[in-house]
Amino acid sequence: MEKIIEQLEKLNIKKEDYEFYGKNIAKINYKNYMNKTRSGKLILMTSINPTPAGEGKTTTAIGLADGLNYIGKKAILALREPSLGPVFGRKGTATGGGESEVTPVDKINLHFTGDIHAISTANNLIAASIDNVIYWKNELNIDPNKIVWKRCMDLNDRSLRQIEIKITKDISRKEEFTITAASNMMTILSLAKDEEDLRLRLENSLIAYDKQGKEIYLKSLNITGAVMALLVEAIKPNFVLTKYNSPTLVHCGPFANIATGTNSIISTQLALRLGDYTIVESGFGSDLGFEKYINVINQQNDLIPDCVVMVVTLRALNLHNDFDLNFDHLEKHLKHVSQYQLNMVVAINYIDGDSEKQLQQLQQWLTQNGYQWEMNEAYIKGASGAQKLAQKVVEVCQNSFEFKPLIEVNDSIKDKITKITKNFYYLDQVNYSKEAQIQIEQISKSQYKDLPLCMVKSHSALDGNEKNLENYIMNIEEVRINSGARFILVFTNNVMSMPGLAKYSNANDIDFIEGKITGLK
């Protein structure tokens, strides 16, 4: 608690503006600090397509924050909150590892301050209220077959992907759950700028269509106040420390393959006003997290990163056969960033046992092709192991650049899809399902036609071809509006918004023994 207070005081956060949740977690009342002038540099972490064990983006982000503070800079880390789906599933925890860790690991990964519970409950209150209106004579004339708002829960449960619910004796309808990290409520909260903006987004959230095809919004249910009451604490960023006492905001946790993939706008904007350097992470590879950060999170062009850090490991390069292919996979990810004319540093995330020969080969290729790079050894050495990376990032942040957008607001929906699939997935052609064609035509005639796209795609393959099919063409299966989050969801190749558990999952290894939680990976 003393260390938390010390860091809060260094950031000039007043006692009346934070509240402790136990001994080593606090919630910040952000409102009194958002009028301050933004003074911090924004550093965005991304990576190549990761291995099943990840690529170490979070670990590198933590190490970089520790390294920046180690060399005397005022750095703040802003991360997503872990979902219980990956924690109990295959991917595992999201608090780093080794000497690059955010603490307390068990609390952050298991329940934390209850934000995800609040988000799930708020989301499901809306779903329950929709069915309740239908039950009580349906005064809003809701079409049970055209309900947009889906239920959610914060676990992997494939059995809830498609279910049938009975509303009355005579009325049944099909329903599908999403995982909370991919829910409408998660993205709405993560993109809200403040309470006023959150209320506006909620009120204007499309929830269903009536039997004449007219849109029905959340404000028609008259429960916006109740939803706000459930989120009154969840909208406040959570404050914790790394193992080396770097201040860290952990807030909201949308997935990157089926949602927006980064921490809340509120926590990023707060960090930019409190510190000199803010480090944020975008999920999975740059084909997902980075693309969405630049084209969705940055839709107002107010969160352009001063430096992008591309995280690379030898194990992922070997997974993609990059040492045999002259770093073709890596180069495609580097092009994702360079096409926007942004500053970039490649962080080689060192893992004990890495081949010195391959490290030299990678470093030589990067140097010969004009890419800035540095080693990150923070996992083993802690803050001092990221010292050189921190210095390199500080140096590169000083370089001037001129951001070059890829997508224009008034591009058509199909033009936006083409730009993303061509420039991020390297595909010259995609197929559209009949349903997607109809949905695009309908949205193109609506008030939502100029919204940015949030692509739903597999994270394991750059082009989404995770099964290595011959003559592969990506399928655009479905297109939906999330009017509260203010983007259009584009589903590809039958990617599900509710993951399933592996045959042997992390849940098989987690236990509570002699007062301690064990098995968190």
Which parts are annotated binding residues for ATP? 51-58
Tell me which residue has tokens 């390199």.
392
**3-class secondary structure, 331:** helix
Going by the annotation, the residues of the binding site are 51-58
Phi, psi values for residue 163, rounded to 5°? -135, 170
Number of other CB atoms surrounding residue 11 within 10 Å: 18
Query: Do 516 and 218 meet the contact criterion of CB atoms below 8 Å apart?
Result: no
Q: Residue 43 in 3-state DSSP?
A: strand
CA distance 352 to 46: 21
Say how many Å lie between the first and final Cα of the chain, rounded. Answer: 25
Using only C-alpha atoms, the chain has a radius of gyration, in whole angstroms, of 22
| Helix, strand, coil percentages for the chain (3-state, nearest 5) | 35, 20, 40
- Cα(87)–Cα(109) distance, integer angstroms: 7
What's the token pair of residue 112? 């934390």
Residue 278: name the closest of 39, 48, 102 by CA: 39
Quick one: DSSP state of residue 165?
E
Contacts 24+ apart (CB under 8 A), 298-301: 299/452, 299/486, 299/487, 301/403, 301/405
Our measurement of the distance from residue 390's CA atom to the centroid of its chain's CA atoms, rounded to an integer in Å, reads 23
Q: How far is CA 469 from CA 27, 305, 373, 431, 459, in A?
A: 48, 36, 34, 15, 16
Instruction: Please state, in angstroms and as integers, the Cα–Cα distance from residue 488 to each residue in 345, 353, 450, following that order.
Output: 31, 44, 9
CA gap 415, 407 in Å, rounded? 9
383 DSSP 8-state letter: G
Give me the residues paired with residue 491 across strands: 456, 478
Q: Which of 287, 57, 282 is nearest to 190 (CA)?
A: 282
Tell whether the torsion through CA atoms of 354, 357, 358 and 364 is positive or negative.
positive
Q: Are the beta carbons of 160 and 150 closer than 8 angstroms? A: no
